[in-house]
Structure formats: structure tokens, C-alpha cells
Amino acid sequence: MKIAVAGTGYVGLVAGVCFAEKGHDVTCVDVDEKKVKLMESGVTPIYEEGLEDLMKKNNAAGRLHYTTDYKSAYKDAEAIFIGVGTPEQPDGSANLSYIATVSRQIAESVERDCLVVVKSTVPVGTNDKVEQFIHDFLVRDVKVEVASNPEFLAQGSAVYDTLHAARIIIGTESKEAEATLKKIYEPFNLPIVSVNRRSAEMIKYACNDFLALKISYMNDIANLCELVGADIDAVAEGMSYDARIGAKFLNAGIGYGGSCFPKDTKALKYLAKQNGYQLRTVEAAVDVNAEQKTKLFKKASNRMITFQNLRVAVLGLAFKAGTDDLREAPSLDNVKLLLDSGADIYAYDPIATDNFKKCYPEGEFAKGSIHYVSTPEEALQDANICFVFTEWGEIKAIPVEKFKELMRIPLVYDGRNIYNVQEMKDAGVEYYSIGRPAK
């Protein structure tokens, strides 16, 4: 089937590449000419495991194309997927301006009957508005329907999640639209859950916010574990055997980040408020997460007299391993606090450093400074204190003895509970983590 995809971020590009991998003829549309040329050369603008290999494969096969010319891409497409961003606004609501721009471009460009599929995460009822908006600006006498098809990929495993999804959610208002989407996804050979548009929109928010709730709940329990002398790892293991709870998203840490959970919890909270309802559980998850991000900094502040002129090792900058995304990353909050406190930071991340430099260029700041290094060992060398913010394999692989060997003061605050408490103690490291008592 001939498919156009609007937007080449995590949602749009991964979807487009995977559609091409399953045999569809796909054109990805983006406004950035440099980005388009980069993708044409087989280079991905985002870091995602396996994505670049599939891009090169399908570029060579002639099934995958890139353009800034939306008119040519949309005019004869059988289906147009919208995968542009819906960033949060100051009040927590979703910014739908990019959705509106693409919708009008589609309305003014299509020359045949087609199905417009909103893959972006949007508030409940948005698909209805998109369909009306397109009809308002439609230039030619063609039939355009709108469907909802939210994504459920996780950054760091987006390609795998798309090709091996637990289910495909499609929201339609006609049998014809439903049949078209089922035809598109037929080569994936995955379970399809077909509902109406508003239900599909709500499923996306309900799933993401439930996982955010689960993370914040475990972090809340971890904080209590520290106070009463329980071990969150042991608690999580005991919980994981309960089939009603499951084993995933039970790891305590310094909170969630990324492009989905922070934005989607705030958006659902805003939607509830607009409809005269208070989502108290979601509000609690948001509040717990905001406090959790800087928990280790506050704990370290109680231990240290000052961070002024201290050499601070920061291991991990991305919000999670497997991605270079920094959106809502705990490292951002903590690096700001450290710099404001006069620390000299030596930061390591295997992938996200270039993105982090856009926020904090290397060099001196008003009080502190930040330097970027190419190995964890360089960051640890002569450090007075170390913070771990991302669970990269390269960081997990550091022998515990290295902290004692390399650091001036072997003092480690681990926000991802990577290391064994007893092993760190035996190695002579003063070690603090989340929800686990020192042995």
C-alpha cells in the first residue's frame, strides 16, 4: 500500500521504516531539508537500536523515501499517518499546532480518497476535530476519513516494539476505515484490537499513565523502605510473583522521564480538569516523580558541607539506557543543581553527550563547570563524589573496585540501583541507592 508519514521523530520515523520493512511503499515527510538528506544517506537522526540498519535496507530496496515536498507525498497516498509531536504547554495541555498544520496540508493536497491515521498521542476527541478540520479545508471532491492508531513503543526498543507489539490498537468510525488499517497491519501478523476513535485515544493515555503510576508507587515504597529498614529489591521480587501485579516496572529509582510519561500524565490530568474531574491518582504520580528526581542530590547535600570546587563524576545523561533522548531526564535537574552549587562536573554517556551539550556547553558556568569525557573511568578519576543517573551497560560493567581505586573519595550515589550494596561496602565504597539499606 502507498503510505505517507508526516513527521520523522520517534513515532513517525520508526513507523515509516517498519511499514517499509513489511512491504509497503512509504514516503516520510519532514520540514527539515538537512534531516531529509541525512535520512536519504541512510543515517538516522535519532539513536534507536536497529533503526539505521532497516533504513539502509529499505532505502536500497526502493520502498522508503524522504521528502520536504508534502504535496507530492500526500496527493496520491492511500493512507497518511500523522506522527508529529504534541508537546505539553505550560498548563499541561497538549500543543496540537503541529497536528493542525499537517491536517491542513493534507486537506489542500490529497487528490484521491484516503485514510488519515493519527499516530501521535492526542487528547480524547482530537481525531473528531482533525476529521472536521480536514473537511473544512478540503480542496477536492475526495473522501477522507480519520482513524486513531496510537503507538506503544518504548525508546531504546522502539523498532522491536513496533515489529513485535503485544497488540495493535485501531480506532475507527467505519468498517471501511477499519478494513484499511487491518490491511496495512496484516503483514505484521499481530493481534488487532478494534475500537472507536475516542476509546483508542483513551487507551493510549490509560496505558502510559498506569505505568507512570506503577513507577511512582514503587519509588514511594522505596522511600518508605529506607525509613523502616526494608529492602526495595526484596520487596519488588516478592511482588513480582503475583500475576495480578507482574514483574515489569517494579524497579525503584530517581523517577521516569522521556517523551511520554511526563507529558501524558500532565495531559490526562488537564483533560480531567477540563471535564470537571480530578484524577487524584495521576496527580500523585506526577508529584512523587517531581520530588524523586532530585532525591539523591538532597541526600548528598546532607552528607557534604559544600559542592563548591568539588570534582563530581556524573555517569549517564540520557533519561534511560538505549536512547539519546534527554526529555525530562533526571540528569538535567541534577546537573543544574550541581552547577549552581559550584561543582566541577565530569560527565559520561555513551550516546547522549552531544544532545546534552546543547543544554550545557562544555566549560565554565557562573559558579561551576562541566566537562565531557569518553569513558566512565575518566569521569571517576580523582572524583570527590559520583552520581549515577542512567543504567547503561557500560556503567553497569564498572568493577566495584574501580570506584575505590580511581576516586579521591569513594562516595557513590546510585539513582538506578545498579550495584550490589554488600559488594560496594566490601570494596570500601560509601554507597547510597534508592530504597536499599546499607549493609
Q: Which residues are the active-site residues? A: 260
- Among residues 178, 182, 198, 180, which one has the least CA distance to residue 190? 182
**d(Cα 197, Cα 115) in Å, to the nearest integer?**
13
AA letter at 386: C
Cα distance between residue 191 and residue 379, in whole Å: 46
Instruction: Tell me which residue of 420, 378, 414 sits closest to 399, measured CA to CA.
Output: 420
| Cα separation, 213 vs 210, whole angstroms | 5
Question: What is the spatial distance between Cα 258 and Cα 255, in angstroms, rounded to a whole number?
Answer: 10
Q: Which residues contact 277 (CB under 8 A, 6 or more apart)?
A: none
CA distance 48 to 51: 6
User: In angstroms, rounded to a whole number, what is the distance separating the alpha carbons of residues 27 and 99?
Assistant: 18
Q: Label residue 72 exposed, middle or buried (CB < 10 Å: 0-12, 13-18, 19+).
A: middle
Stated as kind and residue range, the H or E segment containing 423 is: helix 421-426
328 in Cβ contact with 289 (< 8 Å) = no
Tell me which residue of 438, 433, 435, 439 sits closest to 235, measured CA to CA: 435
Q: CA 391 to CA 231: how far, in whole Å?
A: 20
Query: How far is it between the farthest Cα atoms of the chain?
Result: 76
